[in-house]
Amino acid sequence: MLDNRLLEIIACPKCKGDLEYDRKNEKLLCHKCLLAYRIEDDIPIMLIEEAEPITEHR
């Protein structure tokens, strides 16, 4: 479980925008860049090259 204070200060490294915490998949989502940053051992991997593209079709 991620610390809420950490979530408040953390931002997308690409657009510096807010991230949404996906508790179910343990990922941080940037809906602007459509990137998902994974969390390993409660540490978010905030690297653009490590991020996965979000594939959500609405």
Q: Return residues touching Zn ion (CB under 5 A).
A: 12, 14-15, 17, 30, 32-33
CB nearer to Zn ion: give 6 or 15.
Answer: 15
CB nearer to Zn ion: give 12 or 39.
Answer: 12
Least distance in angstroms from the C-beta of 54 to Zn ion: 11
Spatial separation of the C-alpha atoms in residues 9 and 46, rounded to whole Å: 12
* Cβ atoms 18, 9 nearer than 8 A: no
Least distance in angstroms from the C-beta of 53 to Zn ion: 12
Spatial separation of the C-alpha atoms in residues 42 and 22, rounded to whole Å: 13
